[in-house]
Amino acid sequence: MLNKLFAVFYVFLIAAIFLFATPAWAADASKGAKIFSANCASCHAGGNNLVNATKTLKKDALEKYDMYSLEAVKNQIVNGKNAMPAFGGRLSDEQIEDVATYVLSQADKGW
């Protein structure tokens, strides 16, 4: 009887850990990595910029061009800028959020 109670308790415990303790950014950044390699890496492989070499995705460049925030990065992905195409029609809001999160977390890590 006690064993069964413990078994039930552990199932709930594991479910609770899974539901509440998984950091949201971990899932986002891993999805973002796939979106990045499919849509962005052609110009931004390794956080660089093959088209405009000064506008990299590295932290110092993002800070310099006022791009070091989730809102700024999302805005540029949606609308594009100069030689960078707009992804607003091609990626969902959630995908844009994921890939922007990935870009910022990679910038923090130094790519």
**String of DSSP letters for 17-54:** HHHHHS-HHHHHHHHHHHHHHHHTHHHHGGG--SSSTT
Per CB under 6 A, the list member of 29, 47, 59, 73 interacting with ligand HEC is 73
Instruction: Indicate whether 55 belongs to the interface with ligand HEC (CB under 6 A).
Output: yes
Instruction: Indicate whether 99 belongs to the interface with ligand HEC (CB under 6 A).
Output: yes
Number of residues located near ligand HEC, criterion CB under 6 A = 26
For residue 67, give the 3-state DSSP assignment.
Answer: coil
Q: Which two tokens stand for residue 68?
A: 């070091």
Are 90 and 14 spatial neighbours (Cβ–Cβ below 8 Å)? no
Stretch that binds ligand HEC, among 9-17, 19-27, 62-70 (CB under 6 A): 62-70
Residues near ligand HEC (CB under 6 A): 39-40, 42-44, 49, 51-52, 55-57, 61-62, 65, 67, 73, 76-77, 81-85, 87, 99, 103
